[in-house]
Structure 1
Amino acid sequence: MRRYVKKGSILLIITFIATLLNACTAVNQYSNASQAGKKEFKVGMVIYNAEDTFIGYLRDMVAYYIELYEEEAGVQIELEVLDSANSEELQNNQIDHFIKEGYDVILANTVDRADASMIIDKAQRAKIDTIFFNREPVPQDMKKWDRIYYVGTSAEEAGRMQGEILVETINNGLALDKNKDGKIQYVMIEGEHGHQDAILRTYHCIKVLEENGLKMENLGTDSGSWLKNEGKAMMETWLEEFGDDIEIVLSNNDDMALGAIEALKEYGYFNGEQWMPVIGVDGVDEALEAIENGTMIGTILNDYDEQAKCIVYKLYQCIGVNDLEIDISTEEKDNYFWVKHKKVTKENVDTVKKHTSILKK
């Protein structure tokens, strides 16, 4: 049973109670030895911003898989999810709350990846296993302690796949060079200034395009902070400045791309002859629908289902449950789980949509 309660900023408390089995809980090399024989556990999750659609998907899938495997594991888990509302100070206070209340495992989606060092130091002193996800701590921080883990995807891979989608679409007949100047004029909506994923997605997307002989001209690049409303505002500004000179919109995530599409519609695009190609990242439901109706040419599926399973797989190991048959396809290497992306276009969107709709039932 799930309970969602507001407390200050958004506070989500998700409690699952399952029938306890008689099987003994084994302790593995990763778990705190003091957890031997425990049957009830408290897990705390912090997310950087609940307004991020993808993070909402990932949060819900983690909750789902915890509940799914509780009975088989023979334990009871209380999962408390706190929204950090993009505030480092608030997130640090939330981590302090988990430590003070004696939580067994922390799941952390950091506001700032550089702030992971402080979280790791606190977790190590309290001897609380910590699984970071979606926002990768810097490598030197990951090496601080052997009970720190990361689950995520390669930002470089996502960027390269965005570029590949555009190259493949051009090879299949898409004419982008409307003004016939031999260059493709583009705008790029980035996630956050200085954010590693934003930098890598942008760089490798354009690199792939140039490697394939396309001459790219940047008309505008700015941060939309991963949010739809900011993507829309940015696109409105560019449309006022550049108008139909823009030949393609590239975005570091789907929410911002969808915001750009809203602005384009208000300026008369997609309602007649005017059309603008848009590419995003994440594979959220609204983006899949946009691909179906032709307002996006593609996105990159950021596999939240596989990431959630990897998080829960490692979570159960951290509390000493080693024998669960959780079907993950991602190998753990040096405390990292790197989940693969998948390109989504008109050709395969139906298959992807069927898969993701099953997950949400």
Structure 2
Amino acid sequence: MKKRKVLAAVLVFGISIQVLASCTAEEQTGIARAQVGVACYNQSDIFISELLDCFEEKLNQLEKGSFEATVTVRDGAGSQRIQNDQVKELVDAGCNVLCVNLVDRADPSEIIDIARENDIPIIFFNREPVAEDMMQWDKLYYVGADAKQSGVMQGELAADAIETEPQIDRNKDGKIQYVVLEGEPGHQDAIIRTENAVDTLRGKGVELEKLSYGIANWNQAQAENRMLQMIGQHQNQIELVLANNDAMALGAIDAYKKLNRTESALPVFFGIDGTKEGLEAIKEKKMAGTVYNDKEGQAEAMAKLTEALVSGSGLSDIEFENEKYIYLPYSKVTFENVEDYIEKE
């Protein structure tokens, strides 16, 4: 028994020396090493996938001798329970920064508790937690954009198109018959985008008649199915499609393509995000416009914040709103300026 205790003590001592040597070596080299654990709500979301690609690129650009980063991505597949478990695994694997794209923006408490217990800062991105939750700890940050601005800009794009192209009102009744493709039921960004797009159109004097709406969970295939149902109900009455993101706008376009509808029978389509496919659809005049969600800017902000949190310097140089928030502005994309955005990809 004594031998076992002595052996165990020697092993523990040896491990302690190893860890100490490793820490000392890191201090001597002066390299800040970020082990970034990314938990996203659903990696099949095209915008999220493109944003994460940008994030890794921006981290690579920051690696200049004094900073190194490795990134591990986990897909929550739409389940908050799964995402909570994945965050635990990322922490156990040694991650020292967490970047979290919440499945349920109203339910971050377990993830916050895990991070706080292990003193690991969290950068929430794209899906903004409730303000009260962001106040739970001083090492919680958010990088994203203002959902209201995206809705207003989508409404402005649609109003401008209706003003310059009177043929959009195909039945010439002085009203625009429209449908909406929304993200998730009850999701804050979906509600805000829809309400502000419609309110902006009305505020610009456009008379509207809402025919229907469909929940498509930000997904192109689901949007195609919802659009097919709405076309079945309303046939050629639909003159305008407002989609909460580009993927759903593209799904609506797919529905009309499947039905072999002629161009004269097509409504105008507007999205939000400015994904690669969305931009190409505008270039090909399949989609009238989108609101560009600055993934490059968001990725750069996340990367710089990661570096500052790990290195312990540079945090004061970052511009926050209320010491926690970094918002990147949206911008409007039409056929006239789409090439400028395609060049950025």
Residue identity opposite 1:109 in structure 2: N
1:338 corresponds to 2:330: no
Taking structure 2 as the reference length, what is the TM-score of the superposition?
0.88
Separation of aligned partners in 1, 2:176 and 2:129: 35
Residues 254-273 of structure 1: pairs in structure 2 closer than 5 A? 254-269=246-261, 271-273=262-264
Alignment of 1:178-189 (within 5 A): 178-189=170-181
2:230 to 238, 243, 266: 238
More helix per residue? 2
Deviates more, 1:130-139 or 1:60-69: 60-69
Residues 69, 298 of structure 1: alpha-carbon distance in 2 compared, 3 angstrom cutoff: same
Match of 1:160, SS state, is: helix
Pair 1:351-2:344 in alignment: no
Deviations 1:73-95 (A, max 9, x none): x1332210111111111100001
* Offset at residue 24 of structure 1 (A): 7.5
Instruction: Indicate conservation of the 8 Å contact 2:128/2:144, yes or no.
Output: yes
Matching residue of 2:13? none
Shift of 1:321: 5.1
User: Does 1:87 pair with 2:76?
Assistant: no
- d(CA) in 1 for partners of 2:26, 2:337: 44
Q: 1:71 is aligned with what amino acid?
A: K
Q: What is the Cα-based RMSD across aligned positions, in Å? A: 2.1
* C-alpha distance in 1 between matches for 2:102 and 2:283: 33
Render the CA deviation track for 1:304-327: whole Å, top value 9, x for unaligned.
000000001111111025359x9x
Contact persistence 2:292–2:333 (CA under 8 A) = yes
Decide whether the 8 Å contact of 1:109 with 1:133 is kept in 2.
yes
How far has the Cα of 1:173 moved from its partner? 2.7
CA gap of 1:98–1:243, structure 2 versus 1, over 3 A, is: same
1:331 and 1:338 in contact (8 A); partners too = no
Task: Report the equivalent of 1:299.
Answer: 290
Does the 8 A contact of 2:32 with 2:311 survive in 1? Answer: no
Contact 1:232 1:262 in 2 (8 A): yes
C-alpha separation between the residues in 2 aligned to 1:344 and 1:87? Answer: 33
Gaps of 5+ in 1: 1-21, 26-35, 357-361
- 84-93 or 111-120: bigger deviation: 111-120
Alignment-derived partner of residue 190 in structure 1: 182
Q: Could you tell me how far 1:294 is from its partner in structure 2?
A: 1.3
Shift of 1:175: 2.7
TM alignment of 1:304-319, pairs within 5 A: 304-319=295-310
3-state SS of paired residue (2:168)? coil
Q: Report if aligned partners of 2:239, 2:266 keep a CA contact under 8 Å in 1.
A: no
Residue type matched to 2:303 in 1?
A: V
Cα distance in 2 between the residues matched to 1:336 and 1:262? 37
Q: Which amino acid aligns with 1:259?
A: G
Is the aligned partner of 1:63 residue 2:40?
A: no
Which entry has the higher C-alpha Rg, 1 or 2?
A: 2
Shift, 1:118, TM fit: 2.1
Structure 2 gaps of 5+ residues are: 1-24
* Equivalent position of 1:172 in the other structure: 164
DSSP-derived class of the 2:194 partner: helix
Alpha-carbon deviation of 1:224?
Answer: 0.5
Seq. identity, %: 38
Q: Following TM superposition, by how much is the alpha carbon of 1:66 offset from its aligned partner in structure 2, in angstroms?
A: 1.1
Q: What amino acid is the match of 1:343?
A: K
Residue of structure 2 aligned with 1:42, choices 35, 43, 46: 35
1:121 is matched with 113
Is 2:273 the counterpart of 1:285?
no
Contact 1:268/1:274, CA 8 A, preserved across alignment:
no
What's the counterpart of residue 88 of structure 2?
Answer: 96
Secondary structure at the aligned position of 1:175 is classed as helix
Which secondary structure state, in structure 1, belongs to the residue aligned with residue 265 of structure 2? coil
- Residue identity opposite 2:259 in structure 1: Y
Aligned residues of 1:231 and 1:257 also touching (Cα < 8 A): yes
Secondary structure of the corresponding residue to residue 61 of structure 2: helix
For these two proteins, the number of residue pairs brought into alignment is 319
For 1:38 and 1:219, the matched residues in 2 are separated by 59
Flag the 1:39–1:317 CA change in 2: closer, same or farther, 3 A: closer
Q: Tell me the secondary structure at the aligned position of residue 218 of structure 1.
A: strand
Cα 1:158–1:42 change in 2 (3 A) is same
The answer to whether the Cα contact below 8 Å between 2:101 and 2:124 also exists between their aligned partners in 1 is: yes
Distance between the aligned counterparts of 1:153 and 1:217, measured in 2?
29
- What is the CA–CA distance in structure 2 between the aligned matches of 1:287 and 1:319, rounded to whole Å? 36
- Give the aligned residue type for 2:106: A
